Amino acid sequence: MTKLRVHELAKELGMDNKELLDILAKKKVEVKSHMSTLEEQVTDTIRSEYAKKKAENTEDGAPKKKTIVQVFRPQNSKSGKMQNGNRQGQRPQNGNRQGQRPQNENRTAKPANQGQNTQGVAAAKPQSNGVNGSRPQNAEQGQRRNDRPQGGRFNNNDRNDRNDRGGRFNNNDRNDRNDRGGRFNNNDRNDRNDRGGRFNNNDRNDRNDRGGRFNNNDRNDRNDRNDRGNSRPQGRQGQGRREDRDSIPAPMVEQQKTQRNKAKDKEKDYKKKELRDGEFENKGKKGKKQKQVAEAKKPQKPQPKPVEVEEEIKQITIPEVLTIQELADKMKIVPSVIIKKLFMQGKIVTVNQEIDYETAEEIAMEFDVLCEKEVVVDVIEELLKEDEEDEADMVKRPPVVCVMGHVDHGKTSLLDAIRHSNVIDREAGGITQHIGASVVEVDGEKITFLDTPGHEAFTAMRMRGASSTDIAILVVAADDGVMPQTVEAINHAKAAGIEIIVAINKIDKPSANVERVKQELTEYELIPEDWGGSTIFVPVSAHTKEGIKELLEMVLLTAEVMELKANPNRAARGLVIEAQLDKGKGSVATVLVQKGTLHVGDAIAAGSAHGKVRAMMDDKGRRVKEAGPSQPVEILGLNDVPNAGEVFVGCETEKAARNFAETFIAQNKAKLLEETKSKMSLDDLFTQIQEGNLKELNIVVKADVQGSVEAMKQSLLKLSNDEVVIKIIHGGVGAINESDVTLASASNAIIIGFNVRPDATAKDIAEREGVDLRLYRVIYSAIEDVEAAMKGMLDPVFEEKVLGHAEVRQTFKASGVGTIAGSYVQDGIFERNCSVRLTRDGIVIFDGPLASLKRFKDDVKEVKAGYECGFVFENYNDIKEGDLVEAYKMVEVERK
Ligand SMILES: Nc1nc2c(ncn2[C@@H]2O[C@H](COP(=O)(O)OP(=O)(O)OP(=O)(O)O)[C@@H](O)[C@H]2O)c(=O)[nH]1
């Protein structure tokens, strides 16, 4: 055993160095300072004496306080060196604060005797406490404890209570240490725990023991020590609780502190535990451990974060179209990772490349991220949303009817016959081009007719959301039967859920075959009633007016069955049927009121246009003050030309109308951007690449009325094929102006004007910029021209054109040139850059370019039939006399 120093012994005995120095002085033991070493004999004597004194002291309890307070602080500092911050902090407290500690470190420890740990701790603590500063406390109880045999205690650890321990401590002197030694030898883990306790509190005296212990413990002890940290308190608590509570005021300070820090401590302890478990597994070396623990504390907080974040990005919400950068941002990764991944898959993308949802989803899946499509709220749809109306407010309204059918089957004539008016004469080219509406009265009941133009293009016109018509009259010429546009009309009507009434027209014609038409229509599920079906068929003649009345009656009957109703007493709402810009009147819009009543002076909004109804005219051109459900009226007062098919809504104030229009404009802009974006999608790009050189024909359409713009757009878009895609980059009403031309110029587009002319500036710019500007009065011509233009754009079709034939008569070899075939041109002509086909016995042995064509020594442009010449074939020298040479070239031929 090593000799103890004064301060070590003082500590062990729980007294001041000075106190011990005094004692030593009294005993005439010469020591210079608290660092002086003491003979074992002296230490033993003092120990035994002090123990006795302590025992006596505990009776009056007075010295305790002082001792404890003094002892604790040095302990703290010491333990601080040996342990990690937290533990240090706690340990010392433990000594005093037993009561609280347990809470922090180990709740299970509260009961005095708790399983093994407690036992172990009990066994160990006492020592440590005995040796260390806790002693005083123990000493307090010591009397009781003292009675108990230590050995017994150790052997029967479980039951030993704190008193025992305390006793032990009190009695402990060196033997104690010996005991400990023995204990340690016998104890395994628990001992280590105990040791830990000791270490924390120990001063040098313990080092002997510790030495042994350390040797044994080595690295493993680290963990144990940590455990010790936990277990010790248990023991201590047990030990100290009563003692402290009873007698020591000082710990109260600590207690308060502890309470304040309770939460923190708890947290720290848990963290520490976690860390320790993880860390110590990997760490073996003593020196590093403390650092590691300390370091581990820092990263501990951020540690759980990344885990959470990962979970968060497991699902992302992305829009329909986004860039690689945006996707990467959403996925919280750097875009280069995505780019790399796609590159590995053979796809070359850039950060700003836009991809569609599906592609983005595929990419995200590769990174184990789930995608969800962003729900795009259609603000306009939301604005236009309406609640169900009360049935009680509804009154009967006239049916809205449209006339559909194949070209020239007599739609206009029929409508004309119905209206008793002659519309047909007013139309350029004899084709219905405008959408209008009219109201006819039959037996006191009204029917509203929408003029649906017969041309295919017009059938594609769509209304926003709501269907404009209730009943469709399908006109089929009795002499012509079902034609492509008849089928298209049927499909349109069916898709819109419109009732179909078939009007078999031209029955006055001798070639009329009503039954054939009926028969043909059965294929499209239009079965006449007399054949057991449910479709009304009315044979009519627009010319003779035969069947017109029946047709109208059938319309009314169908309408009655449909129970068409609307509430006239509410703000008006309906559809824009047609709109145009009039020089004198400004924006003129034909609207169909569907619900409510529209009055002059009402504020309305229709798409991008808004305003106050200045004046209203009915279908006969009469001024009206109001228009109820199913009534078409022409209105003046809008600030802009709305699109045909747009919903118009009556607003309470002009401001509300303006807001509506502004919202519409804003959304449309966004939509346009989105559309433009999506066209540049990755998906598209790949398709384009796959398809080869995909070409786009950009077109700007300007027309006199919105309906024609729409018609033109639809017709032109249909011309798109695999090789050329038609893109209507702009469509509008009015004269072709400067901005149309600049737009066309910038996007390499052609301008098609329908019933409009360019203004002077536009004309100049178009000429200067070389913009192709075409003006038409008939839609057909425009479409024909575009078709032709498209043919010009299409890749030319090449055909082989045989130029002539020659026979090889002789061959020559020329160095640096190869074999020259001296030939005779039998027919046609041989041109310098033509291709040749060399045949021998009917088998083609060479097919390729003619490298050189010579007459004697000179290169010539061509050699005609009847002349001799020399051929050199490119990279081919196996030429024999008698071989036949065919000259040909590929020429571009016009597409059919
Ligand atoms: N004999 C006879 N001819 C008719 C009848 N109805 C129309 N036609 C003729 O058929 C041709 C086409 O009539 P339209 O009314 O212009 O036909 P549409 O379907 O409106 O034609 P688009 O406007 O071009 O779609 C005209 O020459 C009419 O005179 C009819 O009942 N009997």
Contact residues for 803 (Cβ-Cβ < 8 A; gap 6+)? 828, 829, 830, 831, 834, 887, 888, 889
For ligand 1, atom 27, which residue shows the shortest CA distance?
A: 408
Per DSSP, the residues of 610-668 read: EEEEEEEE-TTS-EESEE-TTEEEEEEEESS-PPTT-EEEEESSHHHHHHHHHHHHHHH
Q: How far is the CA of 312 from the centre of ligand 1 (A)?
A: 67
Q: In the prediction, which pLDDT does 647 show? A: 85
Element housing 129 (H / E): helix 115-131
* 330 in contact with ligand 1, CB cutoff 6 A: no
What is the per-residue pLDDT across 150-203, written as a single tens digit (0 to 9) for each? 433 334 343 433 433 433 334 333 444 434 433 333 333 443 433 333 334 433
**Mean pLDDT of the 821-847 span:** 91
* 778 in contact with ligand 1, CB cutoff 6 A: no
Q: Which of 685, 690, 773 is nearest to 735 (CA)?
A: 773
Q: Which of 604, 577, 572, 571 is nearest to 590 (CA)?
A: 577
As annotated, the binding site for GTP includes 405-412, 451-455, 505-508
* Percent of the chain clearing pLDDT 70 (strictly above): 61
Joined together, the tokens standing for residue 401 give 């009817």
Per DSSP, the residues of 195-248 read: HHHHHHH--THHHHHHHHHHHHHTTHHHHHHHHHHHHHHHHHHHHHHHHHHHH-
**pLDDT at residue 360 greater than cutoff 80:** yes
* 452 in contact with ligand 1, CB cutoff 6 A: no
* ipTM greater than cut 0.85: yes
Q: How far is the CA of 413 from the centre of ligand 1 (A)?
A: 5
Q: Report the atom number in ligand 1 closest to the C-alpha of 455.
A: 25
For ligand 1, atom 7, which residue shows the shortest CA distance?
A: 410
Contact residues for 717 (Cβ-Cβ < 8 A; gap 6+)? 726, 728
* 407 in contact with ligand 1, CB cutoff 6 A: yes
What is the per-residue pLDDT across 453-472, written as a single tens digit (0 to 9) for each? 533 333 334 444 446 788 88
As beta bridge partners, residue 696 has 725
8 Å CB contact between 273 and 293:
no
Question: For the chain, how far is it from start to end, CA to CA, in angstroms?
Answer: 115
What is the rounded CA–CA span in Å between residue 455 and residue 709? 14
Q: In the prediction, which pLDDT does 173 show? A: 39
* 410 in contact with ligand 1, CB cutoff 6 A: yes
What is the rounded CA–CA span in Å between residue 200 and residue 570? 87
What is the rounded CA–CA span in Å between residue 729 and residue 717? 11
Pocket-testing residue among 403, 404, 412, ligand 1, by greatest number of atoms within 8 A of Cβ: 412
Of 337-341, 362-366, 869-873, where does the model show the most confidence? Answer: 869-873
Pocket-testing residue among 406, 407, 408, ligand 1, by greatest number of atoms within 8 A of Cβ: 408
8 Å CB contact between 398 and 471:
no
What is the rounded CA–CA span in Å between residue 21 and residue 29? 9
* 434 in contact with ligand 1, CB cutoff 6 A: no
What is the rounded CA–CA span in Å between residue 2 and residue 21? 20
Q: In the prediction, which pLDDT does 148 show? A: 41
Q: In the prediction, which pLDDT does 312 show? A: 52
Q: How confident is the model at residue 671 (pLDDT cuts 50, 70, 90)?
A: low
Q: Report the atom number in ligand 1 closest to the C-alpha of 407.
A: 25
* 433 in contact with ligand 1, CB cutoff 6 A: no
3-state secondary structure of 262: helix
What is the per-residue pLDDT across 628-653, written as a single tens digit (0 to 9) for each? 999 999 999 999 888 877 888 999 89
Q: How far is the CA of 547 from the centre of ligand 1 (A)?
A: 16
8 Å CB contact between 494 and 467:
no
* 454 in contact with ligand 1, CB cutoff 6 A: yes
Q: Mean pLDDT lowest for which of 58-67, 616-625, 759-768?
A: 58-67
What is the rounded CA–CA span in Å between residue 767 and residue 747? 16
Q: How far is the CA of 443 from the centre of ligand 1 (A)?
A: 26
